[in-house]
C-alpha cells in the first residue's frame, strides 16, 4: 500500500485595518509591517475593514479615497496580493450576514462589558449607535468566516478575541463544530506607539493631526510634528513610560524602526538633549516612510491594477466566506437555496 502523505495546511491568519484615516506609524509598527513577515509561514487574509469604519460617521468621498489609499499602502509596504488575500470587507457580503446570525447568539450583557465600546462612546457621545455596540460581533464574524486559526491582536483587542471565542464555542456547542476556535497571535515586534501630544494614550489615525505620524507625511511634516511632540520638563533621556511617557515613546519608536535594543539606544543618547532625540527619531521615520511613499504613489497612479487586486481579493475571500456562512445557515435550519 502507498504511504499516505499527510498534507498539513498552513495555519490561517485574519487581520484587518480600518480605513478611518491615513494609517499611522502606530498601525505600521503594531500591525502592518508584521503582516508582511507572516506571509511565508501562514495563509494570510488581510481586510480593509470598511464596514467597521461606519460605526463613526464618515464623509463618503473621504471614506472612498481613504479605502483606496489603504489598499495602495498595503501593497506599498510589500504585501504581495498573490500570496496574501487582500480585500475590502464590504465587497464580501457574507460579513454583514454572518454578523446578523452571530448577533442572535450574543448577549447584551457580554457586549456591555466591552471596554472599547465604553471608550468609543465617550469619544463619540453624539452618535452612540447600535453598530458601535455590536462591533465585536461583526469582528467575530470576520474571523470565523475564514476559519482563522490565529488573529494578531494588540492589547486593546484581546477582549474582542475572547468574545469571538465565546460566541464560536456557544455556536459549536449547539450545532457541532462549525467554526475553528481562533487563538491570539502576539507578534514578536509589536510596540504600542503612543500619541505625540498625549503620550499616555495610543496613537490613533482619527485623532488630531499633530498627535500622529501618518504614513504619507512628508519629511517637513514629520520634523514639525516631532519638534512639537510632548516630552517633559526634565532633560534626562531615559526609558521610563510611567514618569516620562513622551520621551519613552520617542525611544521606543526609535528602537522599533532601527531594531536596536533599548539599552543601547538610551546609552547612545546619554549625553544628548531632547532636541537631538527628536531629530534622530525624525530621521529614522523619514527613512522608513520614504520608500513606502514612492511605492504608494506608483500604485495610486495605476487604478486599474488596484481594481484588479481588490476584485481578485474579494473573489478569493468570498469563496471561503460563503462556505462557512452556508454551513452555519444550514445548521441553524434555514432552507438551502
Ligand atoms: N498606536 C498603535 N500602536 C500599535 N498598534 C496600533 N494599532 C492601532 N494603533 C496602534 C494596530 O493597528 C491595527 C489596525 O487598527 P484599526 O485601524 O483596525 O483600528 P484601531 O486600533 O482603532 O486603530 P486607530 O488608528 O486607533 O484607528 P481609529 O482612530 O479609527 O480608532 C490593529 O491591529 C491595532 O492593534
205 is catalytic: yes
Q: Which of 13, 19, 30, 62 to mutate to test the pocket of ligand 1 (most atoms within 8 A of CB)?
A: 30
Decide whether any atom of ligand 1 lies within 6 Å of the 206 Cβ.
yes
Could you tell me the distance, in angstroms and rounded to a whole number, from the CA of residue 127 to the centre of ligand 1?
Answer: 20
Report residue 221 as a C-alpha cell: 511634516
| Ligand 1 neighbour 124 (Cβ under 6 A) | no
> Is the Cβ atom of 101 under 6 angstroms away from ligand 1?
no
Question: Which of the two residues, 324 and 119, has the higher pLDDT score?
Answer: 324
- Kindly state the percentage of the chain with pLDDT values over 70: 97
Quick: pLDDT tens for 250-260.
999 999 999 99
**Residue 92 banded pLDDT, cuts 50, 70, 90:** very high
Provide the residue ranges of all domains of the chain, joining segments of one domain with +.
Answer: 11-185+303-332, 209-298
CA dist 140 and 167 (Å) reads 8
- Residue listed under C-alpha cell 468570498: 318
Neighbours of 264 (CB within 10 A): 11
Right CATH for 209-298 from 1.10.240.10, 3.30.450.40, 3.50.50.60, 3.30.530.20: 1.10.240.10
Instruction: Tell me how far apart the alpha carbons of residues 264 and 104 are, in angstroms, rounded to a whole number.
Output: 53
Cell of 72: 495602495
Q: Region 140-144: what's the mean pLDDT?
A: 98
Q: Say whether pLDDT at 2 is over 70.
A: no
Closest CA to 77 of 137, 9, 111, 31: 31
Q: Among the residues of 128-218, which ranges form H helices?
A: 130-145, 158-175
pLDDT at 119: 84
Annotation says 244 is catalytic: no
The position carrying cell 498595503 is: 74
Dist. CA 204 → ligand 1 center (Å): 6
205 Cα to the center of ligand 1, angstroms: 8
Q: Span 56-85, mean pLDDT?
A: 97
pLDDT of residue 123: 84
Centre of ligand 1 from the C-alpha of residue 332, in Å: 34
Nearest CA to ligand 1 atom 2: 26
pLDDT value for 3: 53
The pLDDT score that the predictor gives to residue 158 is: 87
CATH number of 11-185+303-332: 3.40.50.620
What gap in Å lies between CA 298 and CA 293, rounded to an integer?
Answer: 9
Same fold, 11-185+303-332 and 209-298: no
32-42 pLDDT per residue, tens: 999 988 988 99
Among 28-42, 43-57, 164-178, the minimum mean pLDDT is found in 28-42
Q: Give the rounded distance of the alpha carbon of 162 from its chain centre.
A: 17
Task: Tell which wins on pLDDT, 189 or 105.
Answer: 105
pLDDT value for 117: 87
Calculate mean pLDDT across residues 76-95: 98
At residue 7, the pLDDT reads: 64
Place of cell 460563503: 322
Q: How far apart are CA 98 and CA 322, in angstroms?
A: 10
Q: Who contacts 162 (Cβ-Cβ below 8 Å, separation ≥6)?
A: none
Strand pairing report for 85-88 and 12-17? unpaired
Paired strand residues for 15: 46
pLDDT of the residue at 190: 63
| Cell (9 digits) for 48 | 480593509
Q: Which residue out of 25, 31, 194 has the highest number of ligand 1 atoms within 8 Å of its CB and is therefore the one to mutate?
A: 31
The per-residue pLDDT for 302 is 98
Q: Which tens digits make up the pLDDT trace of 176-212? A: 999 999 999 987 666 789 999 999 999 998 888 999 9
Task: Report which ligand 1 atom has the smallest distance to the Cα of 194.
Answer: 1
The residue-averaged pLDDT of 235-249 equals 96
> Residue whose CA is closest, atom 14 of ligand 1?
17
Quick: pLDDT tens for 280-322: 999 999 999 999 999 999 999 999 999 999 999 999 999 999 9
Q: Is 62 a catalytic residue?
A: no
* Cβ count within 10 A of residue 320: 18
Q: Is 95 in the pocket of ligand 1 (CB under 6 A)?
A: no
Mean residue pLDDT of the chain comes to 94
**pLDDT tops 60 at residue 4:** no
Residue 102, CA distances (Å) to 134, 137, 143 in order:
10, 6, 12
Q: Ligand 1 centre and the CA of 3: distance in Å?
A: 48
Amino acid at each position: 500500500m502507498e504511504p499516505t502523505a499527510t498534507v498539513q495546511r498552513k495555519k490561517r491568519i485574519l487581520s484587518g485595518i480600518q480605513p478611518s484615516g491615513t494609517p499611522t506609524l502606530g498601525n505600521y509598527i503594531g500591525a502592518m509591517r508584521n503582516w508582511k513577515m507572516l506571509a511565508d509561514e501562514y495563509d494570510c487574509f488581510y481586510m480593509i475593514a470598511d464596514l467597521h469604519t461606519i460605526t463613526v460617521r464618515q464623509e463618503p468621498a473621504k471614506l472612498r479615497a481613504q479605502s483606496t489609499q489603504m489598499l495602495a499602502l498595503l501593497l506599498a509596504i510589500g504585501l504581495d496580493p498573490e500570496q496574501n488575500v487582500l480585500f475590502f470587507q464590504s465587497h464580501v457580503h457574507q460579513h454583514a450576514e454572518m454578523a446578523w446570525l452571530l448577533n442572535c447568539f450574543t448577549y447584551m450583557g457580554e457586549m456591555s462589558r466591552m471596554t472599547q465600546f465604553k471608550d468609543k462612546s465617550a469619544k463619540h457621545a453624539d452618535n452612540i449607535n447600535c453598530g458601535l455596540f455590536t462591533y465585536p460581533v461583526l469582528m467575530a464574524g470576520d474571523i470565523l468566516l475564514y476559519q482563522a486559526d490565529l488573529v494578531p491582536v494588540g492589547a486593546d483587542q484581546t477582549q474582542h478575541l475572547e468574545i469571538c471565542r465565546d460566541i464560536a464555542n456557544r455556536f459549536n456547542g449547539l450545532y457541532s463544530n462549525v467554526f475553528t476556535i481562533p487563538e491570539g497571535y502576539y507578534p514578536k515586534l509589536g510596540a504600542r506607539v503612543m500619541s505625540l501630544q498625549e503620550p499616555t494614550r495610543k496613537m490613533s489615525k482619527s485623532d488630531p493631526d499633530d498627535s500622529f505620524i501618518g504614513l504619507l507625511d512628508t519629511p517637513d511634516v514629520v520634523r514639525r510634528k516631532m519638534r512639537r511632540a510632548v516630552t517633559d520638563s526634565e532633560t534626562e533621556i531615559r526609558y521610563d513610560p510611567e514618569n516620562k511617557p513622551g520621551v519613552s515613546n520617542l525611544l521606543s519608536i526609535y528602537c522599533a524602526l532601527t531594531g536596536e535594543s533599548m539599552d543601547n539606544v538610551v546609552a547612545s543618547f546619554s549625553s544628548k538633549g531632547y532636541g537631538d532625540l527628536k531629530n534622530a527619531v525624525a530621521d529614522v521615520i523619514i527613512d522608513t516612510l520614504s520608500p513606502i511613499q514612492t511605492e504608494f504613489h506608483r500604485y495610486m497612479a495605476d487604478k486599474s491594477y488596484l481594481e484588479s487586486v481588490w476584485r481578485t481579493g474579494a473573489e478569493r475571500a468570498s469563496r471561503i466566506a460563503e462556505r462557512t456562512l452556508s454551513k452555519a445557515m444550514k445548521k441553524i435550519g434555514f432552507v438551502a437555496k
